[in-house]
Amino acid sequence: MKLSNMFKKTERKNYITIHTSDKKGKPEVPEGLLKKCNACKAAIVTEDVKNNYYICPKCHNYFRVHARRRVEMIVDEGTFEEWDHGLNAGNPLSFPGYEEKVKALQEKTNLDEAVMTGKAQINGNEVVLGICDGRFMMASMGWAVGEKIARAVERATEEKLPVIIFACSGGARMQEGIVSLMQMAKTSAVLKKHSDAGLLYISVLTNPTTGGVTASFAMLGDVILAEPNALIGFAGPRVIEQTIGQKLPEGFQKSEFLLEHGFIDRIVEREEMKEVLASILSMHKIEENGEDWRQECCQNEGEEKRVPYKGLTSWERVQISRRKDRPVGSDYIHTLFTDFIELHGDRYFKDDKAIIGGIARFHGMPVTVIAQERGTTTKENILRNFGMPSPDGYRKALRLMKQAEKFHRPVICFVDTPGAFCGIEAEERGQGEAIARNIYEMSGLKTPVVSIVIGEGESGGALAIATADEVWMLENSIYSILSPEGFASILWKDSKRAKEAAGVMKLTANHLKSMEIVEQVIPEPDNFTSANLEEVADRLDRSLKKFICEYMEMDADALVEKRYRRFRRM
C-alpha cells in the first residue's frame, strides 16, 4: 500500500444536503441547525440555545429574546391575554418612508409595535405585563409604545393588579420627534397614579435599555431587576465617548456597574427570573397579607419573666457588645425570617454594604427588614466598613422604609454600629443631611417600626434607623451619644479614660430602660454567639409577634401621633 494512500480523506456519504455548495464532497449543515454566538464566536446548536433560555452554553452570553418567547419563559402556560393589539401611531411628523418601514417590520416580526402588553399569571399570581421587542426599531418609544404602556398601567390600576415591564430599547423614536418625547411624561404619570393606589411595579432591564426609556418608565420600579451584563444608561457609550473624547472603562453602564452604584435592586439570571418574580409578587399579594398572620402572631403567649441583670460593669458590657463572635445583623435576619429577598442601592450613587435590607416573611407576613452589618471575618469587616454606614446606606434604608409604608409592611431594624462613617467622601455626599432626613421621615412613617440594638448603637449613626415606635436592646448591647473613647477624648482630652466614661454615660440596657429611652431589654445567655442565637431569637420572636399584633391594628394617624409623643417626652 502506498504511503500517500494511508492519509487519504475518506468519502462522506451519510449526510443531509439542505442547501447547495460549490465545494463538492463537503458536508452541508442543515440550515438553521447552528448559530454563531456574537460573544465567543462559537458555533452552537440552535435548539440547545432555545432550551437554555437563549443563553450560549459555552460562554453564558445572553441572546436577545423576542417578546413572545419572553412570555413563554415567564408566564404560566395558556394564561397570557394580549391587550391593544393593532394599535398604531401613524406618522405624526409625516416623516418620509416611516410608514413603509413600520409596515415592513410588522410583517417581518408579526408584531404591531415594539411592545406587547396584556394580562397573565406567574405561578398563579395575576399580573399586567409589558414586554419590549428589540427587533422592532430597537424597541424605540413612539406614540404607540407609550400609549400601549399607559393603557396597560391604567387598566392595572383599575383592576388593582401589579405591573411588570421588560424594558429593551434604544430610547426615543426619532421619526416621531416631540411626540416621542412626550411619551416619557405620559408613561411616568400613569405609573405615579398606579403607585399612589398602593400597587406594585417591577421593572426588568434587559440589553440594551437606554435613552428616553431609561429616563422614564424603566427606572421607576418599586423593585428594579436586571439581566446580567445588560447595557443600561441614558446616553449610549458611543455618544459619551464622542462627547468627552475618551475611552470608557471596562464594564461601564453594564448592569453590574449599576448594581454597585445603587440604581438597581438585583441582577437575576434568566433561568431564575420566573421564580424571583413570583416570590416578589407573592410578597405583595393583597389577599395573602390579610388574616393568616394574625392567627399566629396575636396568640397570647404570656409575659416572659426577665432574667435579672448579671453583675457586670458598664465597661464590661461595652467589651461584650464589641466581641467579634457576637451575632451580627444578617444572623438575625436569616434566623428570624423566611424568604428574605435582599434589595440593593439608594437609587442615587451607591449600594452601601454596611446596611443590608429587603423584604421577608415573619410567620407568613411580609415585613421589611433592615440591618447595620459589620461582617464576621476580617474580609467582611472591610467590605462592610465595620458597620459604619455612608450617606448611601442611610438613603437605601429610607428608600426601603418608604416602600414599606406604601405597602403597609412593618419595619424591623437591627442597630449595630460604632457610628456613621466620617470621611471625605461621606461629607461630600451629605452624611449629616442623610441622617437628618432619615430621622425626619421616620418620625412620620405611617407604618409600624421597631428597632433592636443588638451590639453597639452609637451617635446619630444609630438613631438614623432607630427613630421607631419602640426601641429594644439586647442585655449586653450599648446605646449612647458616641463611644466611651470619644466621650473621654472630648470631655477630658484623654481617650484612655474610656472605662471611666462608660461608667458615667448610662449607656447600658438597664440604664436606658430605667430612663424610659428603650421599651424592652432582651436577656442574653452567657457567652452569647451565633451558636446559641436561637435562645435570643425565640425571645425576639415572641416580642415581635406581640408588637406586630398591637401596632398593625392601629390607625396610621394614631400610630404617628404615638411615635411623636414618645420622642416629645424625652
Percent of the chain that is helix, strand, coil (3-state, to 5): 45, 20, 40
Look up residue 278 and give its amino acid: A
Distance between CA atoms of residues 27 and 491, nearest Å: 88
Q: Residue-wise over 453-489: b if at least 16 C-beta within 10 A, else e? A: bbbbbbbbbbbbbbbbbbbbbbbbbbbbebbbbbbbb
Grid cell in block for residue 410 = 412593618
CA separation (Å) from 497 to 321, 476, 511?
18, 21, 20
Task: Show the DSSP H helices in 255-313 as ranges.
Answer: 255-260, 273-283, 292-297
56 is in an annotated binding site: yes
**Main-chain phi, psi angles of 133, to 5 degrees:** -125, 115
Task: Show the DSSP H helices in 322-423 as ranges.
Answer: 329-336, 378-383, 391-407
Contacts of 220 (CB under 8 A, 6+ apart): 188, 191, 201, 203
- R_g over Cα of the chain: 29
Question: Which residue matches cell numbers 407604618?
Answer: 447
297 is in an annotated binding site: no
| Secondary element (H or E) of residue 250 | none
Which residue positions form the known binding site for Zn(2+)? Answer: 37, 40, 56, 59
